Amino acid sequence: MKKLLYLLVALPMIMLSACHDDDDLPNVDLDIQFSGVTVKDDVIYVVQGEPITIESVSLINNTDKKGTLGVVSYYWDYIRVGSQVVAPYTATFETTGDPVGNHILSLDCGIYVEDYPVCFGAAQFKIKIVESEDDLPDDGQQNPTITNYAKISSDTK
């Protein structure tokens, strides 16, 4: 009975020692280069039937340590559609069979920075498929690079 009591007392201490301080995450961002799209007000527009291409995903490392990305996985409307294991992590998404309207394109990846815990980055983009080029915003940015759009977290909790 005493052994059980000691285990119950020790359990909270073990649990607390396993937690990790989120302030210890590396200061990094993701740089994502698109082509075949127009962006306005944080919405990515594409004409139905035209592909959306991510030309590259790269790490902007704001620390003085070496860092790199791991596998980048892509999701279309929350369904995993593929992964890339080699830089520049290019991916193309065909829109021919997708209905006109709103969609979500997301990606996640491992982030490895020297002297920091293994972290994960995620980015999510609002996609609007339109019927024709006439429906694209006139003052949108063509083939943008989107930076500082990542949520970084650690799985050490």
Both tokens of 108, joined, read 């996640």
pLDDT of residue 107: 94
Kindly report the average pLDDT of the chain as a whole number: 83
Yes or no: say if 102 and 144 are a contact pair by the CB < 8 Å rule. Answer: no
- Percent of the chain at pLDDT above 70? 78
State the Rg of the chain over Cα.
21
Give me 49's structure tokens. 């039937």
> pLDDT for 54-96, tens place per residue?
999 999 988 899 999 999 999 999 999 999 999 999 999 999 9
Q: What is the pLDDT of residue 145?
A: 73
pLDDT of residue 16: 42
